[in-house]
Structures are given as structure tokens and as C-alpha cells.
Structure 1
Amino acid sequence: MKNVLIISYFAPPLNIPSSVRTGKLAKHFLTLGWNPIIISVKDIGFYFKDYSLSEEIKNIEIIRTESLDPQRVIKKLRKKTHSSVSERLYKDKENFIYKFKSFFPIDDKIGWIPFCYKAAKKNILTHKIDAIYTFVGGVNHPAITAYYLSKRFDIPFFVEFHDLWADHPFYPRTKIGQKLNDFWERKVLLRAAGVITLAPGSKKILQEKYEFLKERIIFNPNGFDAEYFEREFKPKDKNEKSIVITFCGHLYKNMTPSDIFKAILEYDELDLPLKLRFIGDFRKAFRVLKEQFEQRVKNRDITIDVLPRMPYDLLLEELHKSDAFMLFLPNEEKFKPILHAKLYDYLAVGKPILAFVPLESDVESFIKMGNLGYVAEAGNPESGKKIIKQFITEFKQNKLSKYKASSGYVRKYSRHEAARKILEFMEDKLESRKKSIKKIAVVSNTAWSIFNFRSGLMKKLDEQGYKIITIAPFDEYAHKILYEYHKIKMNNKGTNPFEDFILFLRFFFLYRKLKPDVILHFTPKPNIYGTFAAKLLRKPCVNNIAGLGTTFIRESLVTKIVRTLYCISQKSTQKIFFQNREDRAIFQKLGIFENTDLLPGSGIDTNKFIPKKKKEQNNFAFLLHSRLIWDKGVGEFVDAARRIKRKKPDVKFQILGFLDVENTSAIPKEQMNKWVDEGVIDYLGEVCDVREYIANSDCVVLPSYYREGVPRSLLEAASMAKPIITTNNVGCKNVVDEGITGFLCEIKSVDDLVDKMEQMLRLTKKTRCEMGKKGREKIIREFDEQIVFKKYVEAINEVTK
């Protein structure tokens, strides 16, 4: 029997939705052959208790802990001080707590995390826990606790996402709160073995937001207890002449019965007594609405009964005495992807539902698919009046039985069936883990480069069944990476040997902790120091030498040391990819012949970088987009611009890219400002997506003398059918067929660059278009990213044999 640790702040006998869900799932897990152990908090005293819920799970171990959350603190403060301040806090506790949540989405119960973690750790050390299961509404304390337990003990955990608005229905988050939520949500979901949502809309939202979830997410309904409905219930009293419509649950803020009140007021043809019953907890807004409605219908045979929250079996008795049920949701986008928990009890009772909900919502689909009742658009009185009229008419004609769901539809939404599907999902994910999924570490000197240049490769490897982890210094792109991310401190500009030795140690300890099966190194420092660390740990690595940069351009003591380290490190590598023959030849001269191969650069997604028409058809525009360092020929581009502008002042010279990058050859912002003030160039700034700027240029220029691999900027431009001017330099010349897809100029020659740019200006638009077209054909044929992906998959399979 497998053991599953269920982490839930609320547990029976508390009679609130999350507590009921915890108890019911645990009960069915046990009947289906799993042993659930619940970790919950000690009695907090604010909520209605239903001891029949505890009776159902009397054979299940529940570990109850202390907690330092605001609710418990407020309660104890009130008990001990009896002060006016503590009394006021107690009375207004809910408002205070929701405001706290809007700032800190881990939520008001953060004080439970250390107690829960300690109890769970003790349990894990004494039992063999196969999985952790937790319930969350957004991201909060149980999910974070499960995350750290999973990380510490390598136990898979599963997250059940309740309705995405559940913890914050009416208090919008602060900016800090939203950032915290986004950070933890992504972190938790990345590590989770599986995610369960209670509504199909929630599943769709999460899948669109997090592409990595794909096969790790399912929709599984809340459901109802079929066994409760197998016994006989006392029907509606024959002496009850009123039409009885019931609502159960809680209403607050703008979730009110105003829609049905308005519909009834609009429908003045009602000639039968009507009784509206509300069972549950209701706030001031409801009471005010109720009094206003009663005042307006005092001359009509309409009554409202309000009943308190009650045990589940008594509630079912009351539901069976109804003719129909009510359901309300505000007409807002965030309420569309939810399925109200009481919907399933209404379904099982077999009476029609009058739903006032947003159109195209999950509730509307649920009701229409099962023919369970009537749907009106929330906030639309005419729509509400229409369904009230239809319901009354069919009640008189005794036609309501048609809204009873089929036995198959009912069975589909039983809690036992829901629990069985969850366990099947969990079994499948646990089985996948047993198959020893290999971990691949993708390592670079910036998170920006991983996000921009390695996302396609990581997606391909993910599809092949590998687990992806990424390692890079933190920058603003770290949060955008769709896979597990680990930060490492790295000075990309630095040549301090002590700093580099510390970097080597960081790689060593991080690799030892993460235990990757294969390491993919990109950029110089990971290629050198990451490889040394991998060698000591006997971890295979595949290195990508995308150009040799300034290391092989300049002659100095530092560059000689770096070259030596580069060569020594690469001798212990299982596979080295070069992006051009010249770089490969240099290493072969240094004795590295084995396990080398050529790649067509980083490859390019030719389906993403497609030709687009230029928006403005007037001035000719040359574009240079790159990391802005002197070695990329930026100075030569500016000098050429000056000369051409003297003859053709209308020609535009645009520069796009990052300034002050971590490189000794970086162009400072002050220099760029001088060029802009001079009127020589237009600086377009720093952008993530360059396609719009390439599309609005006529020719892309890169007069680089940097030791390039294959410049990505040229691949992007050629893929978008733009003619190119670049230097006859290593890597650059690979992209251009001279005179066919663009022009090559001499390295560091402004004269030759001006000559080639003037040649481009003299060409007809038709000739330039033909040049761009042939350039795209060359890219598809030689540089498509699928060629790169295939070689990487082959290399990884080879080194992991």
C-alpha cells in the first residue's frame, strides 16, 4: 500500500469546502488502496463543525500542529487581553486577513509553514512516503511547504489548484503581492509532479501560462458522495404549496442573489406562491438586499427563508425538499473558469438548476452539456426574467423531470470516480519517475541567452522525455525561463584567477547537488570552469563553442592563460560542437581531434522568423542589431553612416541592442548618446523580440571582426528575407553567398563597407527582394534549428549510453 502525505490547513470536522474536499478525498484514497496521512492545524475555532465528516475518516491518521497565523493570534489575543483593540480585530478579522493576502499571496497562514514542515519531516523519516498531495487556491502555504519537502527528500508532490480566484475574489493584489505570487506559482508548478484543477477553464489558463505543464495537468471535478444519495430521502411536504428554490453555500461582496431578485421583480405574471431558501453563511450585503427585496414583494406571495449552515446529511434532506436550485456568479472574466462545489450536489439530487453566471463559462457548459437546467447571463435582467418564466411554465406543465441528469453523467462526477482518476494520474507520474528520467543541465553566462537562444532546444529535449534544469547568473529573464532555474554568481568580464577558482567551486558544488546526467555548456566560462567541475564529478558534458571572441583576437598574458585553460578543459569533454570550421581547426591544431562536430550556429526557428512587409516604404534603412561591443564593428558602421549621410542624408542608420554588456569591449551609453545627438544614427533601444525592427529595415549590416561562431542576428535577418552586408570574417561569411544573398566586405575597412552599402543602395527593390528570398532559402536549407536539435539529441544519446 502506498503512503500519501496530504497537506491541508483545513481538515474535518471543519465544514468548509477545502476541509470537506480533504476529508472526502482521503476517505476514497483509502478505499482505493492508498494510505493517506493528513497534516492539518489544530482547532482554530472560527468555523462551523460537522463531526459526521470526522466519523468518515476515523481510520485515517491526522497530525494536527500549532500555527502562528493571524487568525489564531487574534483569537488568543482576544482570549487573554479582552481589550477593545483585540475585540475590534476579532470582529473585523476577515477584512484584515484579506487585506494581508492582497499584499502577501503566500497568505495569512504563513506562520503554519515551519510547524507543518517539522511534522511532515518527522513523518517522512518514520514512514515511506510515496507522494505528497496538497490543496491550493493560487499559491499559498501548503504548496510552498510541499515544494521544500519535495526538494529536501526528493518526494514527488501533486498540487490541486482550486478556483484561481478562490483566495482573492474581491481584494486585488498589490504589485508586490502579484510579483510574489507569480514567482512562487512558477517555482511550485515547475517542481510539481502533477497538477489537478477543479475546472477545465482553470486547466486551460495554466496550460497557456506555463507551456511546461503540458502532460502534467488534468481536470478532475470536485464531485459528490454517491453513497449519500443511495438512501431514501423524505420528499417535499405535500402540504407545501409554494415553489421552493434553494441556494446553499455563502454569498458576499458582489456575489449576491440580486440577479434572481431582479428577474422575479420583472416577471409580474407569477401566479403561484414562491419560496426562496438560503442555507449557509451570509454577510451584510446579502441581508440588505434581502430586506429591500422583501419590501418590494410584500404584496406578493413570495417569502425568503434563511437557514444556518448544517451537517451534510441534514443539508441533503433540505435539498431533496426543493423544486429547483439557484447558483450565482458575477459577470466577470475571472469567474468563468470555475465549477461551484455545490453544483455536483444539485446534480445528484436531480432537480433543475437556475444559474445566473457569465456566458461561455465552465458552469454554463456543465449545465448545458448535462441538460441540468436553465442558464441566464449574470447581470442581465431580461435574460433572468426569461429563465424564470420558462421554469414556472414547465413547473406548471410538470415537465421538470427532463432536467434530471442521466445515470452515466451522475456516475462520472462521483467523488469515488474523481479519486480513482487522481490516483491513476499519480500512479502514471510515479511510474515515469521510476524509469529514471535523465536530467539535462543547460548552463550559460546569462539567463537572457538561455531564454533567447536555447528555449527551442530545451523544448525539444523536454519532448524527448528529459528533465531540464537551467543554470545561469540571475537577470530579468530568469523568471521567463520555462524550466527549473538555478542561480550561479559569475563575473563575465572578470579575469581574476581567484574569482574564477571560486566560480569553479560553485559549479562543482551545484553539479554535485543537482546530479545532472548530462551538462550542456554554452559561453566561455561555463565551457572552461563548468567542464573542470564536471570532470571531477564524472559527469558527461556537451560543449558549444559559439565563436572564440576576444580570446583568440588579442595577444596578452591573460588571453594566453585563457586559451591554455580552454584547451585543457576541452580535452575531457565528451562532445564539442563548433559553429565554423576555422574554430574547429584551431582546436585540432592544439591536439583536440576526438568528439568534435560542426553545427550551423545556434540554428534559427524559420517558422518564427518569417518575411514581413516593411510598414514605411519611404527612406532606406540599414539596421545593425547585436550585442553592442566595439568588436562587432559598431564603430565602423557609424563611420560608414557619416560618409553616406553626407551624400544621401535621407538614408537611415539604425542600431538595436544591449549597451554596457559584460564585456571589456562594451560600448558605453554615453558614446551611443553622442552618436544620436550628432544625428548619425537612430538608437532603437533594447528589445527581446527583434522581428518588427528587422521587418522595417531594408538591409541588415554586421561589420564584425569578433571571433564569431555564426552570428544569430544574421540568421534572423536572412530568415526574414533581408539582404545582408557583413565581413569576410570567421562565422559571418558562412551566412552570405557573395552577390547572391548579400555582400561581404573586408574586416575593419570602412572604405569597403561604404562601397558595399552604396552598392546595396543602387540595387532595385526587386533585386533586393530576390536577394532576400535566396537568403531565406539558404537559411532553411543550412541553418534551420531542427538540424541543431537533431545533432544535440544524437550527442546526448551517445554520451549517456
Structure 2
Amino acid sequence: MRKESGANGTDVLFIAANTRSLAVNRGAFIRALQARGLSVGALVPDEEFLREVHALGVVTWHYPLERHSMGVGGELSRFLALRRLIRQIAPRAVFAYSVKPIVLGIPAARLAGVAETYCLATGLGYLYGRHDRRTRWIRRVVDGCYAVSGGLSRTFFFQNPDDRNELQQLALFRRFARSVVVNGSGVDPDEYPFSEPPVSPVRFLFMGRFLQEKGIREFVAAARQLAGQTTGAEFVALGDTDESTVNGVGAAEVAAWRKEGVVTLPGKVRDVRSHLQAASVMVLPSYYREGIPRSLLEAMSTGRAVITCDSPGCRETVIDGVNGWLIRPGDAADLARRMQAFVSDPRLIGRMGRAGRAMVLERFTTDFVNRQMLEEMPIANMGQPLGDLA
């Protein structure tokens, strides 16, 4: 029999990294929970996509989040604020994703009396790609926090096997955390329908934050090389600067790219579908330690060939030579070579695009991913005691 909802009528409380990811990346999962009769709430740190979140039927509460702060006093204050909020909301389960919501939110939820908690690592991020002394020290701290939160949770979800293998090296995590790999966030193939890609000109599209590890500089460098060698190619980069991060590309550099004119820079857009429809090939030369980039799944669903790095998360989306190409991380010349292959033989664009669409339908739909996750959640499987689902 169904238990009563929390004090504020909330069955599952998400602790979100930002409202955009909650609406765009978790939206289908939220609807799947609601379809099973569960009410959903969320703690959110911003208001950018708040209207879209509320349109999902999600009740929200604001909580403080400083994504890049490492001050002990500030983090303790935010941890205590989270615990108070969660205790007031009194949900039956908590679902946290991204670094700070996991390492602060899960212990706060357990101390607030929530017995059923879940973690979702949507990629390990720049901490697990950089190798300077400060980053290594921070990573050791985060490793320990992940292990604690994993041990306190029912299931720790990963979006690719490389990330799980990374944390499984930690004895504490390996011993106490139950981990499951799912196929990213998935994509709705009806929301991103197939269309024949244009081939004249061949338009290469980058979508993502302008971070060094996302490969935006390699994309610009490859575009310069092709622009100097061939005609019939165009280059578009959707996104914007993020100077709040240590690895963000600066506004002055982006302004120089815009003035140069090799790459068209429309800025940050809320709906990328028209840009995908106008693109021939999706390019994401990322070595950021992605989960599985949703932008690649959106492009594949639309029927676009992709070029991405042979790196964790990205490599899960490509069978090399079938639906796109895998390139060496940080290698602009390798990227330019693969981009040139599409210009030289445009027939590859349609053939690889159709193969990518078939891959999405086989294993990357939101329905497929949601089933993977719901099977691991006792709250979504009424009538079965927690022990029966261990």
C-alpha cells in the first residue's frame, strides 16, 4: 500500500544543480515518477528555467549553492540550511545530482530523517581531468564525500562505466555504495525528430559551455584550418562564456573569435532544435569527463553524424566510422581531418546520421533510461518492502 506523502505532500525531492538541467535533463524522469502516482518537489539555486520547472508540476524551494566555493565555513552554513529545508519539507525520498547537491545534500537529507536517498553523477567534471596539486587535493576530498554519500544512499547512479570504475577504486565506495550505470539522461525521439541533414554547405555545429575541456578552442582552430583549405563549409558554436570557472574561456577571446568571423556565434539559446535541423554534423571535442552529453544524443536523434572525443561519456555515443568519428582529446588537427572527411564525401553525413538515429531508438531514449532508474527505486515500486529490492 502507498505510504502517505511527506508533510508538504512531496514524495520525491530533487536537489538540483540548476533549473535548466532540472527542466531539460530530468524532465522526462520527473514525468515518469509522476506517472507512478508520486508527487515531485525540488530544491533549486536559481530561477532561469523556473517557469519550465513549474510547468512540470514541480513545487520548488530555493536553497543556497556556490558551485565553485571551497570555503569550509560557507559550505557548513549551506549544509545546515539544506538540512533545515529538507526537514521542513519532509519528503519520502531525495534524489541529488551533480557534485555539491550530492556531497552536501545526501548527508543533510539523512540527518533530516529521509531514509531513501539517491545520487546521480552526471559526469565527474573538470576535477577528474586536471592534474595540478590543488586539483588533486580537492579531488581527494570529493572522493571521500562521494564515498560517504554513496554509502548513505540506496543507489548511486552513473552515466558511463568509466566514472563508476574511477570511484570503485576507492575502498570505502566499493564496500558501501551500491552503484548502477544507466545510459545517460536519454532523449525523447519525438521531441527531437529525424530530418535529412543539409549537405550544401556542410554546417558543423558545436553546442556547450565555452570551457577549455569542452573543446571549444579545438573547434575554432579546426574551423580556421578548414576555412583556409576548402569552400562549402560553415561553422556555428552555440554557447557562452563561463568566467566563474577556472577553466572558462574569457569574454575577450570570444569577442576576438566573433570579430574574426570564421565561426558564427549566436550565443546561448533556450531551444537548440532549429539549430540542429540546420546543421549537417554535430561536433563536441570534449574531454571534460562528461556523463553522456545530452547534446550528442539530441543531435543523433535528429539524424546528425557526430564527431567527439574518445573520452569518458563521449565515447559511449559513437561507434567509430558508423555514426561518426572518435578523435584524440585536445587534438585540433585530428578534428580538422575528420571534419574534412565530411566535406570531401557528403554522402557520409546522411548515412552516419541515420545510424545515430537508430542507436538512439535502440538504447538512448528517455523511456529506456527511465526504466533503468525506476527499477532501482523502491518508492517507485509500491507494495514491495525495501529489503526485497536489495
The reply to whether TM is greater than 0.5 is: yes
Q: Deviations over 1:519-567 (max 9, x none)?
A: 1111110011001112223422111111100121223223332233222
Aligned to 2:28: 456
Aligned to 1:499: 74
Aligned to 2:362: 781
Aligned to 2:144: 564
Aligned to 1:605: 188
Q: Distance in 2 between matches of 1:477 and 1:504?
A: 24
Aligned to 1:791: 372
In the TM superposition, 1:115-194 aligns within 5 A as none
Aligned to 1:445: 17
SS in 1 for 2:33: helix
Q: Distance in 2 between matches of 1:562 and 1:500?
A: 13
Q: Is contact 1:528-1:570 (8 Å) kept?
A: no
SS in 1 for 2:189: coil
Q: Deviations over 1:420-449 (max 9, x none)?
A: xxxxxxxxxxxx996887610111111111
Is residue 761 of structure 1 aligned with residue 360 of structure 2?
A: no
Is residue 551 of structure 1 aligned with residue 127 of structure 2?
A: yes
Report the CA distance shift for 1:772/1:613 in structure 2 as closer, same or farther (over 3 A): closer
Report the CA distance shift for 1:601/1:569 in structure 2 as closer, same or farther (over 3 A): same
Report the CA distance shift for 1:481/1:529 in structure 2 as closer, same or farther (over 3 A): same
Given residue 737 of structure 1, which amino acid in structure 2 is its aligned partner?
I
- The one of 179, 182, 192 aligned to 1:596: 179
Ranked by relative contact order (alpha carbons within 8 Å, sequence separation 6 or more), the top structure is 2
Aligned to 1:59: none
Aligned to 1:714: 296
Q: Distance in 2 between matches of 1:798 and 1:489?
A: 27
Q: Distance in 1 between matches of 2:148 and 2:33?
A: 29
Given residue 122 of structure 2, which amino acid in structure 1 is its aligned partner?
A
Q: Distance in 1 between matches of 2:239 and 2:196?
A: 22
Q: How many equivalent residue pairs?
A: 368
SS in 2 for 1:562: helix
Given residue 773 of structure 1, which amino acid in structure 2 is its aligned partner?
R
Q: Distance in 2 between matches of 1:561 and 1:587?
A: 13
Aligned to 1:670: 252
Is residue 530 of structure 1 aligned with residue 105 of structure 2?
A: yes
Is residue 584 of structure 1 aligned with residue 161 of structure 2?
A: no
* Aligned-pair CA distance for 1:663: 3.0
Aligned to 1:771: 352
Q: Is contact 2:10-2:90 (8 Å) kept?
A: no
How high is the TM-score relative to the length of structure 2?
Answer: 0.89
Given residue 553 of structure 1, which amino acid in structure 2 is its aligned partner?
G
In the TM superposition, 1:387-466 aligns within 5 A as 439-466=11-38
Q: Is contact 1:627-1:658 (8 Å) kept?
A: yes
Q: Deviations over 1:574-630 (max 9, x none)?
A: 11111111111112111324421111001111111111245x763211000012211
Given residue 718 of structure 1, which amino acid in structure 2 is its aligned partner?
M
Q: Distance in 2 between matches of 1:499 and 1:573?
A: 24
SS in 1 for 2:376: helix
Is residue 646 of structure 1 aligned with residue 238 of structure 2?
A: no
Aligned to 1:474: 46
SS in 2 for 1:653: strand
Aligned to 1:86: none
Aligned to 1:182: none
Q: Deviations over 1:648-683 (max 9, x none)?
A: 254211100243265332223332111010112100
Q: Distance in 1 between matches of 2:79 and 2:311?
A: 32
Given residue 791 of structure 1, which amino acid in structure 2 is its aligned partner?
Q
In the TM superposition, 1:308-387 aligns within 5 A as none
Q: Distance in 2 between matches of 1:751 and 1:435?
A: 56
Report the CA distance shift for 1:435/1:632 in structure 2 as closer, same or farther (over 3 A): closer
- The one of 476, 481, 484 aligned to 2:59: 484
Q: Is contact 2:13-2:41 (8 Å) kept?
A: yes
Given residue 215 of structure 2, which amino acid in structure 1 is its aligned partner?
G
Q: Deviations over 1:238-287 (max 9, x none)?
A: xxxxxxxxxxxxxxxxxxxxxxxxxxxxxxxxxxxxxxxxxxxxxxxxxx
Worse-matched range after superposition: 524-533 or 433-442 = 433-442
Q: Distance in 2 between matches of 1:571 and 1:453?
A: 25
Aligned to 1:697: 279
Report the CA distance shift for 1:528/1:618 in structure 2 as closer, same or farther (over 3 A): same
Aligned to 2:241: 659
* Aligned-pair CA distance for 1:499: 1.7
Aligned to 2:262: 680
Report the CA distance shift for 1:435/1:625 in structure 2 as closer, same or farther (over 3 A): closer
Q: Is contact 1:613-1:696 (8 Å) kept?
A: no
Given residue 44 of structure 2, which amino acid in structure 1 is its aligned partner?
A
Aligned to 2:330: 748
Q: Distance in 1 between matches of 2:3 and 2:169?
A: 44
Worse-matched range after superposition: 475-484 or 723-732 = 475-484
Report the CA distance shift for 1:723/1:690 in structure 2 as closer, same or farther (over 3 A): same
Q: Is contact 1:441-1:520 (8 Å) kept?
A: yes
Worse-matched range after superposition: 785-794 or 527-536 = 785-794
In the TM superposition, 1:187-336 aligns within 5 A as none
Given residue 551 of structure 1, which amino acid in structure 2 is its aligned partner?
L
Q: Distance in 1 between matches of 2:5 and 2:158?
A: 33
Q: Is contact 1:728-1:747 (8 Å) kept?
A: yes
Unaligned runs of 5+ in 2: none
Report the CA distance shift for 1:749/1:435 in structure 2 as closer, same or farther (over 3 A): closer
SS in 1 for 2:30: helix
Q: Is contact 1:547-1:583 (8 Å) kept?
A: yes
* Aligned-pair CA distance for 1:501: 1.4
Q: Name which one, 1 or 2, has greater alpha-carbon Rg.
A: 1
Q: Distance in 2 between matches of 1:762 and 1:649?
A: 10
How many percent of aligned residue pairs carry the same amino acid? 26
Report the CA distance shift for 1:704/1:453 in structure 2 as closer, same or farther (over 3 A): same
Aligned to 1:516: 91
Given residue 441 of structure 1, which amino acid in structure 2 is its aligned partner?
L
Q: Distance in 2 between matches of 1:476 and 1:434?
A: 32
Q: Deviations over 1:48-74 (max 9, x none)?
A: xxxxxxxxxxxxxxxxxxxxxxxxxxx
Q: Is contact 2:150-2:178 (8 Å) kept?
A: no
Q: Distance in 1 between matches of 2:77 and 2:231?
A: 53
SS in 2 for 1:470: strand
Q: Is contact 1:630-1:665 (8 Å) kept?
A: yes
Q: Distance in 2 between matches of 1:674 and 1:563?
A: 38
Given residue 138 of structure 2, which amino acid in structure 1 is its aligned partner?
V
* Aligned-pair CA distance for 1:457: 1.0
Worse-matched range after superposition: 530-539 or 639-648 = 530-539
* Aligned-pair CA distance for 1:798: 6.2
Q: Deviations over 1:339-383 (max 9, x none)?
A: xxxxxxxxxxxxxxxxxxxxxxxxxxxxxxxxxxxxxxxxxxxxx
* Aligned-pair CA distance for 1:471: 1.0
Q: Distance in 1 between matches of 2:240 and 2:19?
A: 14
Aligned to 1:357: none
* Aligned-pair CA distance for 1:725: 0.4
Given residue 689 of structure 1, which amino acid in structure 2 is its aligned partner?
D
